Amino acid sequence: MTKSAVRDLTEGKPMKLILGFMLPLLFGMLFQQFYNMVDTIVVGQYLGINALAGVGSTGSINFLVLGFVIGICAGFAIPVAQKFGSRNFEELRRYVGNTIWISAVFALILTVLTCVFCADILRLMKTPDDVFMEAYNYIWVIFLGIPITFVYNILSGFIRSLGDSKTPVIFLVISSLLNVALDIVMIVVFKMGVAGAGWATVISQFVSSVMCFVYIIKRCEILHLKKDDLKPRRYYIVQLCGVGLPMGLQYSITAIGTILIQTAVNGLGSMYMASVTAGSKVGQFMCCPFDAMGSTMATYGGQNVGAGKLSRVKRGLFDCILLGVGYALIALVIAVFLGDKLAMLFISGEDASAGNVEDIIALAKQFLVTNAAFYVPLAFVNIVRFMIQGMGSSQVALYAGVFELAARGVVALALVPFWGYNAVCFANPFAWILADAFLIPAFFLCFRAIKKRIP
């Protein structure tokens, strides 16, 4: 195993290590947001409004299902990070081997269920008839590629568990560029319609999976399994499910909350829908640093808890919170002074037809600024929750997702009917504050429990 293949997060200054691990993740997340924009442009330009609407209508169910996959794979990687931190490479490989079996079972079940009931799911979501087949043809292919999604997220998660955050990002960039090229080939050359966009995504992710696998073979000897490592063992399966399932469910719970809010917004009319869409897209870019900080804390916490270096856990958490608060203040300034200009970038001709453009921009800025004013609580949500998960207490972190769901549900069902758009703007802040009220004391309780086990 070459030194360049791993990064030990249990030695050295936490702030330097956190920045070194986080920045490649941040670049990858920002690049993926840009890629998603280009992907949308290709579908809209070559296939028309109905195709674009069909693909767009699958966003919430896509997030619900694939979010579960991403979350559960991230959870499976945490015990690997912990065993790497403790230098217990024998158990590390056993966790890797058992992850393969569990993932195969979950991938098979999810693929069969989603593909068989794909049409029923779309009808349950009240997908409009004029875009139903476009939505079905796209999302069915995406669901068919669930096993590949599992493979990529598991392999890239293993690599990050060893402290290497750069390599998965390189593969992600290559995969995204390939995806755009395949979009054009499948849609323009082979005339495959929206299904072509789905196949482009699946094929490009398959390529990135192969790259991760080859990299592990060549550069990560620590992950090379023997026959005994692949033997299913109840202990490891229970431990993996105990960490992975709560993280997967957390993503799905978040998706359900988002669906509730979107449903409430839809009831306010097209102008408000366009405003929230534009404000949310800007927010997705601005929140990427918080997502990168969270992913960093999961690996940092896992390695240091595994190494028994609990003082570094608190120091790393504090340093990352400083980063989060500092960025939150910068983001608020950007939202206040540039929010309207940024929102204009995401308002299409179809959105403009929903109402006065100036009104849509003003409403989008209101949504963005209101959310940005509460980015400090959001920073705590991501940093503390993922640290708790990295410490091995995913079940506890899951409850924070339940609090977020409850907050968004109250806003969507009880407050929006009375206060309309103003209530929508405060839905996310309310969810973040409620989650923090649980997460902050939960961290200290989890830390105290671990300290009793580790002298």
pLDDT, one tens digit per residue, over 253-305 is 988 888 888 788 878 887 887 788 788 889 999 999 999 999 999 999 999 99
Answer with the one of 209, 232, 255 that is the final residue of a domain.
232
- Count Cα atoms within 13 angstroms, Cβ side, for 453: 11
66 lies in some domain: yes
Q: Are residues 81 and 162 in the same domain?
A: yes
Q: Are residues 351 and 211 in the same domain?
A: no
Q: Are residues 198 and 287 in the same domain?
A: no
| Percent with pLDDT over 70 in the chain | 96
Q: How confident is the model at residue 5 (pLDDT cuts 50, 70, 90)?
A: low
Answer with the one of 188, 211, 232 that is the final residue of a domain.
232
* Per-residue model confidence as pLDDT tens digits over 335-365: 999 999 998 887 755 555 555 788 888 999 9
CB burial of residue 188 (10 Å; 0-12, 13-18, 19+): middle
pLDDT of 38 reads 78
316 lies in some domain: yes
258 lies in some domain: no
135-144: burial string, b at 16+ Cβ within 10 Å, e else: bbbbbbbbbb
Tokens matching residue 443 = 């961290």
Q: What is the DSSP letter of 145?
A: T
d(CA 397, CA 209) in angstroms, rounded, equals 29
pLDDT of 427 reads 95
174 lies in some domain: yes
When pLDDT is averaged across residues 161-170 and rounded to a whole number, the result is 94
Q: Are residues 202 and 313 in the same domain?
A: no
Please state the domain count of the chain. Answer: 2
Q: How confident is the model at residue 209 (pLDDT cuts 50, 70, 90)?
A: very high
Answer with the one of 184, 213, 232 that is the final residue of a domain.
232
Q: Are residues 189 and 330 in the same domain?
A: no
Q: Are residues 435 and 356 in the same domain?
A: yes
Q: Quote the pTM value.
A: 0.90
- What does the chain come to in residues? 455
pLDDT of 3 reads 45
31 lies in some domain: yes
Residue range(s) defining the domain that contains residue 157: 11-232
Of the candidate ranges 217-221, 231-235, 344-348, the one whose mean pLDDT is the lowest: 344-348
When pLDDT is averaged across residues 426-450 and rounded to a whole number, the result is 95
pLDDT of 349 reads 57
Contact status, residue 189 vs residue 49, Cβ threshold 8 Å? no
3 lies in some domain: no
Query: Would you say residue 2 has pLDDT above 50?
Result: no
113 lies in some domain: yes
Nearest 5°: the CA angle 452, 294, 386 is: 30
241 lies in some domain: no
Q: Are residues 335 and 440 in the same domain?
A: yes
Q: Are residues 152 and 108 in the same domain?
A: yes
When pLDDT is averaged across residues 160-175 and rounded to a whole number, the result is 94
Q: Are residues 143 and 288 in the same domain?
A: no
